[in-house]
Amino acid sequence: MTVTLADVAARAQVSPATVSRVLNGNYPVATATRERVLRAVDELDYVLNGPASALAAATSDLVGILVDDIADPFFGVMASAIQHEIGGPGGRAGGERLAVVCNTGGAPARELTYLTLLQRQRAAAVIMTGAVAEDETHTAAVCAKIRKLTEAGTRVVLCGRPPATGTGAVTLAFDNLGGARRLTEHLLGLGHRRLGYIAGPGEWTATRHRLAGHRAALGAADVAEDPRWTVHGGCDRRSGYDAARELLLRDPSLTAVVAANDSLALGACAALRDLGLRIPEDVSVAGFDDLPFSLDVVPSLTTVRLPLAEAGARAGRIATGREEPPPGGLATVRGELMARGSSGVPRP
């Protein structure tokens, strides 16, 4: 049979309540008693029964982290930082918290499913990352779910995601618009006037905001935009490759290509090379996110650094109550322009 808290109590010659108290460390216990209990725990090789504990306390140590694609470094970096921050000691039961990541695969339905599952487990907190599709019905369903969770006492933090108003969730949003704007300003500053833009999936908010930032910079510099200069598509390397080809086919006079993220930019670089164009001598390229590989490619990629790890860590702290939520429950995280080798002055 599996050993229970009562067994430990018997062995340590104390009441079950006392054992619970030393295990949770949330109540004064005499040092001598504590040691006796701890010894008994050790000797019996006792492991707390999580479900029983969660049931009695009406809360658990589970923290869920929702990501779109577990294999994408964008989420990997954030998830890793969150887990690192949460994994430490400090949960109930004096032990650690169980921070787990759930892979939605970008599917709205799976997102909802995971939310329900986490709700069922009475998760202590849920951190949602990732793109959000601009789909009325889905958004409404997710918001309703989030509201249920927060009402039940689960802390919900949206990290790198637009706010879900009226749900009680705290939001750490990325300043996509501002970052994109600064990036394009950098290119304009170098002298570029004919810039192609590789946008992400049309229905994502991030796509829209980054494109808006790009256009804001263009507008402020009085640079007219040609409709041929924007291509929508996926968000991976392959899409970037195809989009860049398409862009230069439509207008070979482009001197710069801006991509909505680094993976797209990488694909664009490959396409340009295959077209016999040098970077940045013939065409400058820029990305967004500053994923680890961006510094490592040749030439290194000009991009906007999003503090993924820092934001994730902060989200983790807020989710575990170790940091106050920002005023109004909303903080905007700025991206920093990283001007590197892939951008230069345009060819004459």
Partner DNA sequence: CTGTTAGCGCTTTCAG
Partner DNA sequence: CTGAAAGCGCTAACAG
The verdict on 14 binding DNA (CB under 7 A) reads yes
Q: Is 110 in the site for a copy of itself (CB under 8 A)?
A: yes
Q: How far apart are CA 103 and CA 101, in angstroms?
A: 7
Q: Which residue has the tokens 């006079």?
A: 253
| Binder of residue 73, out of DNA, a copy of itself, none (CB less than 5 to 8 A by kind) | a copy of itself
| Out of 9, 118, 158, 187, the residue judged to bind a copy of itself by CB under 8 A | 118
Instruction: Tell me how far apart the alpha carbons of residues 337 and 228 are, in angstroms, rounded to a whole number.
Output: 26
Residues of the chain by 3-state class (helix, strand, coil), percent to 5? 45, 15, 35
Q: What's the chain's Rg over C-alpha atoms?
A: 25
Length, in residues, of the chain: 348
The reply on whether position 170 binds DNA by CB under 7 A is: no
CA–CA separation, 132 vs 149, rounded Å?
A: 19
Q: Which among 88, 89, 68 is positioned nearest to 79, based on CA atoms?
A: 68
Give the footprint of DNA on residues 22-61 (CB under 7 A).
Answer: 23-24, 26-30, 32-34, 48-49, 52-53, 55-58
Nearer residue to DNA within complex by CB, 60 or 343? 60
For residue 172, the surrounding DSSP H or E stretch is strand 170-174
Q: Which of 4, 49, 150, 332 is close enough to bind a copy of itself by CB under 8 A?
A: 49
Q: Which residue carries 């306390």 as its tokens?
A: 57
**Interface of this chain with a copy of itself, residues 271 to 290, rule: CB under 8 A:** 273
Q: Which residues of the shown chain bind DNA in the complex (CB under 7 A)? A: 2, 4-6, 13-21, 23-24, 26-30, 32-34, 48-49, 52-53, 55-58, 92-93
Q: Which residues of the shown chain bind a copy of itself in the complex (CB under 8 A)? A: 2, 45, 47-55, 60-62, 64, 69-73, 76-77, 79-80, 83-84, 87, 93, 95-96, 98-103, 105, 110, 113-114, 116-122, 148, 152, 237-238, 270, 273, 292-293, 296, 298
